[in-house]
């Protein structure tokens, strides 16, 4: 493009977090804007936790057309919202802010929708009445639990800090045997912990021996290549879903709300993996 850009007509959206330099959302959303020829730009804003409300209100005051919110601000932004969706109320966190055109903003959480869309795309299963084991009970786990309950799944949860499990589902003790036994009964096993990030070993706390063709293994950890746990699960015949799909579809759901346009998924997927 030889013409000067951005111009005074260029619209902007972005993501706030602390830190934020690792975020792949700018690649994904800017690829989408380019693919559709939209005169929009997507930026990453590092916002110190002491200034979240000021920053969010200031960005929208300056004409921002939409924000994503990531760690550690997903809870704090709720107080800035003039309205929140039922997903935010249930999950207790917002990852998407949409200006309402009247000076206010609606908070939404698209992580649950992103989780389900990626599952439906990569390894569709009937979750109604199905037993699901989730390892982890942090922020991402709350969105996954909301999504799974909406589909009628029976959720069992194992977490290093056991007292966080009960709010999400039936508690499974965080021992190797208990986790393997629960995985053997599960149609879907989800890793919502950070275990597997930055290692080439299968984390000892994730189940493996009990996985097989009857299992879908879903790892929320995002890496460009399959995580060691997913690779090992696939070698045992399990169907697998990686963290890229959830990242893509939560972003696509936000994009749809900001622009009113159907997101170009292939361009967004290519943007995520471009180096
Ligand atoms: P996110 O928003 O990505 O879910 P989070 O809320 O910090 O991040 O949650 C991280 C999850 O990974 C938690 O379930 C955490 O377990 P604790 O609740 O016991 O902290 C889990 N986790 C992180 N490191 C872990 C480790 N080394 N072993 C086991 N679980 C771990």
Active site residues: 74
pTM of the model: 0.95
How many domains does the structure of the chain reveal? 2
Residue among 116, 72, 75, 117 nearest 94 (CA): 75
* 8 A C-beta contact, residue 213 and residue 238: yes
pLDDT, one tens digit per residue, over 133-157 is: 999 999 999 999 999 999 999 999 9
- Residue 48 sits in which domain range? 11-109
Best residue for ligand 1 mutational test, from 137, 138, 203 (most atoms within 8 Å of Cβ): 138
Ligand 1 mean position, distance from CA 160 (Å)? 8
Q: According to the model, what pLDDT value does residue 224 have? A: 85
Instruction: Describe the crossing of helices 25-36 and 265-273 by its angle, rounded to 10 degrees.
Output: 140
* 8 A C-beta contact, residue 156 and residue 134: yes
Q: Is 230 a residue whose pLDDT tops 70?
A: yes
pLDDT, one tens digit per residue, over 56-65 is: 999 999 999 9
Q: According to the model, what pLDDT value does residue 1 have? A: 56
The CATH number given to whatever domain includes residue 19 is 3.40.50.10860
Three-state SS at 91: helix
pLDDT-based confidence at residue 2 (cuts at 50, 70, 90) = confident
Q: Is residue 63 part of a domain?
A: yes
**Average pLDDT rounded to a whole number, residues 31-38:** 98
Tokens for 251? Answer: 């972003």
pLDDT-based confidence at residue 102 (cuts at 50, 70, 90) = confident
Q: Is 245 a residue whose pLDDT tops 60?
A: yes
Ligand 1 mean position, distance from CA 9 (Å)? 42
Residues 169 and 75 both lie in one domain: no
Last residue of a domain, one of 54, 82, 109: 109
Last residue of a domain, one of 69, 85, 109: 109
Residues 67 and 96 both lie in one domain: yes
Residue among 145, 142, 174, 182 nearest 158 (CA): 174
Laid out side by side, the sheet with 83-84 consists of 40-46, 11-17, 67-69, 96-99, 105-108, 83-84
For the Cβ of 92 lying below 6 angstroms from any atom of ligand 1, the answer is: no
Selected residue with higher pLDDT from 29 and 1:
29
Residues 222 and 135 both lie in one domain: yes
Three-state SS at 246: helix
Ligand 1 mean position, distance from CA 251 (Å)? 22
Q: According to the model, what pLDDT value does residue 103 have? A: 84
């Amino acid at each position: 493009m030889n013409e000067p850009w951005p111009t005074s007509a260029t619209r902007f959206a972005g993501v706030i977090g602390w830190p934020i330099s690792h975020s792949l959302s700018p690649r994904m959303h800017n690829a989408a804007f380019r693919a559709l020829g939209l005169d929009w730009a997507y930026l990453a804003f590092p916002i110190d936790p002491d200034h979240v409300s000021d920053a969010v209100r200031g960005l929208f005051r300056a004409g921002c057309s939409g924000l994503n919110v990531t760690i550690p601000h997903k809870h704090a932004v709720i107080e800035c919202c003039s309205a929140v969706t039922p997903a935010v109320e249930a999950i207790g966190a917002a990852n998407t802010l949409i200006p309402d055109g009247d000076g206010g903003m609606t908070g939404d959480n698209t992580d649950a929708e992103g989780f389900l869309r990626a599952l439906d795309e990569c390894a569709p299963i009937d979750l109604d009445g199905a037993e699901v084991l989730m390892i982890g009970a942090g922020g991402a786990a709350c969105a996954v639990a909301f999504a799974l309950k909406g589909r009628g799944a029976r959720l069992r949860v194992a977490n290093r800090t056991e007292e966080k499990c009960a709010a999400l589902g039936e508690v499974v003790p965080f021992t190797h045997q208990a986790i393997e036994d629960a995985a053997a009964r599960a149609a879907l096993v989800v890793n919502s912990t950070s275990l597997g990030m930055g290692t080439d070993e299968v984390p000892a706390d994730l189940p493996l021996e009990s996985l097989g063709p009857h299992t879908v293994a879903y790892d929320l950890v995002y890496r460009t290549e399959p995580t060691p746990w997913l690779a090992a699960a696939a070698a045992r015949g399990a169907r697998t879903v990686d963290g890229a799909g959830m990242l893509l579809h939560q972003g696509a759901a936000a994009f749809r709300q900001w622009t009113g346009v159907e997101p170009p998924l292939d361009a967004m997927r290519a943007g995520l993996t471009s180096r």
